[in-house]
Structure 1
Amino acid sequence: MEERIVGDYRLIQVIQTGPESTTWLAEQTSIGREVIVIELTDFSKRESFLGDTRIKASVDHPLIGSVYEAIADDSHCLVAMEKLPGKTLAERLALGETILPIEFSHLLRMLSEAMLHLAAKGVATEPLTPEAIHFDKQGVLRIGNIACAGTPDLYAAAHDIARLGEALPPIVPTGRPGASRALTVLAWMRGEGVERALTWEEIHSYSEQIESQLVGVSHARSPETKRIRTKKSPLPTILATLAGLAIVAVALAFMNKGKDIAPAGPAPVLPEPVSIPAGTYPLPDGGSEELKAFQISACEVTIGEYLEFLETLELLDPESRSIFDHKDQPAEKSGHQPADWEAILAAAREKGTWDGRPIDLFCPVFNIDWWDAAAYCDWKGGRLPTQEEWFAALREKVKKPEFLQPSSWGPVTSIGMDDKTPNGLYGMAGSVSEWTRRPAANPANPLGKKRFVTIGASFLKKDNGALARDWTDDRLQRRPDLGFRIVWSAE
C-alpha cells in the first residue's frame, strides 16, 4: 500500500494486514512522533472496533501501551497508538537472542504486575503472546495494549501463563546464575510438576524472589548445565525432579544456586506407584464408600527420598523454605528435619546402625511428624492418603487383610512376600505405621472427637497387622516406627 495522509498521521509502512484491519507504522506529523496506526478496512466491524478502542483508551498503566487518538468519520476509522520501544520477545526468539536470568525474572515480575492491574480493573483481554511483549536493551518492559471489550474470560490468565511457559524457555540462557530457577518457573507456568495452573500473583512472588537473590551476583557463564526439563510423571501430579533439584516445585529446585548437588547415594530402585481404580470399597469400620481413582506409592517414603526433599529446601533462601508447609502448620514449628536426623543420615549413608538396628537410605523415613509428611507430599505433587483410600488400596485384591504378616524393619524393597499385596503394595501390615490425611472418629467412641489416624502396624507394634490403627491429637508426634506414603490423583 502506498504512503498516505489521514488527518494528523502519515501512514508510512504496512506492518500487518488482516481480514478486518491494516496495521501501519506512521508518523504524527504535528509533533514528529512515530506511532502505530490500526486502520479498520471492514466497516461492518466499526462498532466493535470502536468499542475495543474505548476499552484500550481507558487503560492507564505505565507498562501498557497508550491509545493516543481515534478517528471515525465517513471515510476513515482508525486508532493511533504508542509505538513501543525495544524488540518483542517474539523477535528475540526468532533471532535466537537470550535474556539474562536476572533480567528475565525482572521481566516476569513486571509483566505479572501489568496483568494483575488489568484483572483488578475487570478488563477483558486479547491473548497475551510474545508478540505483545517488548523488552529493550535497558531492561524496560512494555506491553502492547491487549484490552478489549467484553466480559473477562475466567480462564484467560491460565491460558496466557501456559502459552508463555511453552514459548519462552529458549530465551533463558543455560549456564548463567539463576537459569535453573527461571526455567523452573516457566515449567510450572506450562503446567509441569504442579497440580494446578500458576496465578500471576505466584509468578510475581517467585520472580521477585529470584531477582532479589541474583542482585550482586556475577552473571558470567558458569559450567554448562542441562536445561531444566520437567516431565509429566506417570503420576500426573508428581513434581518431577527439575534439573538437579527435586521443585517446588514450587519440584522447587527452582532455587538452584547454580551449583551441582552431589547425590547422596545410589538412587533407590523402587516399584512404580499402584493405580487403584474408581469403585465402591469397604471401609475400615464397616460399610462401603464410592471412591475416585487414585495412585498410591507402593512403598513408604524412604530416607533417601526424604533427603532429596531436605536438600531442595536447603537450596532456597530461608524465607522461602516454608513454601510446602501446610497452611495450618503451627507458627512455632520450623523446618522439616526428622528428630535425630544427622545421626540417622550418617548411619544410613554408611549402612551402619541407628538405635541398634541396621539402616540404609532405602529404609523408610521415620521420626517425622504429620506436618513433615504433608510438606513432603506437597513437594511431590501429592498428599497423604485418607484412611479410606489407604484401606481401599489394601482391600483392592486382599479379601482377608488380617492374614498379611507384619514385616520387620529393613529396606522397603526387601520386605517379604508375606507383607506384599497382590496389587504390589509393600509393608501395609508392618515396617512402619503411617500417617493419614485427616481426622476420623474412633469406632470405640463414635460420638467422640475426631482425631488424626496412624494406620498399619509396625516392626515395634505388630498387633493387628494391616488392621491396626491409632488416633492422636498430636500432629507433632514423632516416633521411630512412624512414617508415611503418598497418594496422587489419577487424573
Structure 2
Amino acid sequence: MPTVAATPVVKPQAAAPTAPPPEPPPAPPVEAPPAVEPAPPQLLAVPAQHEEPPPPVPQEFIPPPPPPRRASNPMIGAVLGPYAIKRVLGHGNWGSVFEAVQEQVNRTVAIKVLEPELHEDPAKVAQFSSLASRMANRRHNNLVAVYEAGEFGGVHYYAREFIEGRTLQEIVESPQKLSPAHTLRVLMGVARALLYLLHHHIAIGPVPGKNILVDTINGEPHVCGFSFMDGTSGELGSSAATEMPQLAQMLWNALDPAAPQSQQVYGLLRRLLDPDHPFPSLEHLLSEAEALERTFHKPVVKRAKSASAQRPAIKPIMPGKTPLSQRLQKKHYIMGGAVAGAVVLAVAGWFVFQQFTKLPPADVETFIQVPAGEFIYQSGEKKTTKEFWISKYEVTIGQYRKFWTRVKEKGDKNYAHPKQPKNVDTTHTPVNWDWMQAACEAGQQLGDGHPITDDYPIFNVTYWDAWAYAKWAGGRLPTQEEWEKAARGTDGRLYPWGNSLDDPKRANTGKDYDDINRGRIDGYLQWAPVHAHPGDTSPFGVRDMAANVCEWTDSWVPMLNNPKEQVPIIRGGSWADTEVRVTQRQSNVMAHQGRNDLGFRIIRDTAPPVVGK
C-alpha cells in the first residue's frame, strides 16, 4: 500500500488596565430586506438593543444554501487498512469524511475516502494523492495535519488529524453567535493558514465554511481538506480581495451584534466585502486584525475582600437564661483551639509551598555576547553584523523604575532622543504606571492567580521611553537585524528553539489567552516573569524572543497603510499572539504610542562592566 509520510502536528495576548478604545461611529441605519423566498436575508444577526444595526451586506456575497445530507454510508463498520470506520463526519467534492480509529495505537483520526466514481479517472486519483502528499509535508497551527495517504482494496483515502469541533458553516447555521474576539481569532487563523500555503507555493482559492473546523477546546480555526485547492476556485495571489470575502460574509452572519466592540469588527468585515476598496494583501489584513484584537485586551485582577465586607458575629440574647454558648464555654474553647491550630498549620504549609514553587529573582543585568559574522535573515537573505552584547531578558518593571525615578527628579535632558518631539512626557511615565508600581508592591494577583512582581517585563512604553532608558543604561536599542540574529542564531530557524512550536508550554504565547484556557497552557494569562519560560531561549541564550512581550527596535520603515509616516519596527511575539515566529515584523505603531504587550531590551557595542569590579 503506497503511503505518504507526514510530519506530526504542533501547539497554539492581553493586558494592564488600559483605557477602553473609543467607540466607533454608529453604523448607518439599514432597510429591512425584502421578504423574498427562497433567497436568504441580507443580515442574519439581530441588532443589539440601543445600538445601530450593522450595515447591509452586498447580495452577491450571500453564500448558497448547503447541500442536503446523504443517506447512511455502507463504509460504516468497515476496516480500511489499519483504520476502523466509525461514523460519517461530512461530504465534499472529493468524497466522504469519516471518523475512524487507528487500532494499533488507538488514535482517533478523520479519513477522507475518494468518491467511487472518481476511482475510474486516473488523473483524479493522481491529483487526490498529490494534494494529500503536499499537505502531509506542511505543518501549521491553523492547518489540519495529514498523516498518510494510501489505497486499500481499491479504495483511495488519506488520514488526517481529528478535530473535536464544528465547521464554521454549521456555526453560521446555528443560533450560536461568536464574540468579537472569537470572530477575529477565526479570521486571523484562516489568513495565517492561507499565507503559510502561499509561502510554500501552494495555489488555493477562497476557503468554504465547511473546510474551516473550529476547535471546541480553544476556539482555534483549522483549515481542512483541499476542495479549494483543485484549481476551480482560482489561484491564491496574496490578495484579501479574492480569498476573504466569502469568509467575511460567514463571520458577519455569525458575529454577535449585541456584544461590546462588535461594531469595530463589523467595520473590518465591511472592508473585506467592499470590492472597490480591498485590502492590498493578506499581510495587511492580518496586521490590522491583530491591531484591532489588541484593543480588546483588558486586565483581569483579583482583589481581596475588604474587612468591612466580612459578616460580624451575632450574639444570642435570651431573657432570663444563660446563653448556651456560655454554658458550653469549655467545649468551645477546645474546639476553637483545634481549629486555630489547623489554620496555623495550613498557613505554614502554604508558606512553605510558596517558597519552594516561586521563581527566584532573575539575573536581569546579564548580557549575552553575539559574535560578529553572517546569519540568515528573514526568508533566506544572508546578512552580517558586528559583535554586540544583548540583554538576556526583556527590561523589567524593577529596572525601569530606577530609570523613571532618575528622570523624574532631574529630567531627561541627557537621555532624550535628538528627534524626540517637544510634547513627549519628559518623565517617561508609562500608561497605568501608578497601578503597575502599586500592584508590584502589593503582590497583586492577576487573572491567572500569579502575583505581579518587579521581574515582569515593562510594558505600555513608547519608543521614546525605550530609547531614553537605553541611553541611561549605557546601551542602545537593537536594529531589527541585530534583534533577529540574537533570536534565531545563524541557521535560519523559525523559532528561537527550532522550526516548530512543538511544546505549548515552551513560551508565553496567546494560545491560552481566552475564556476557556485562561493561561492554563503556558501558565500565564498575560505577562510572565522574564525568566519563567526557559524553553523560549535562542541559540545564544537570549530569553523570551518569541513571546511574553514584543519589542521596539531602532529600525524605521514606512508605516503600514500610511507610507508617508515613518515608524520604528517592532519584533517578536507576545502573550497576545498565537503566531510567534521570530521572522514576524510589525510596522503599525507610531513612536509616541505604547501598548500593553509591547516592551523592549537593549544592546551594547562593548562588553558590559563586570559587577563588583
The normalised TM-score by structure 2 is 0.34
The normalised TM-score by structure 1 is 0.42
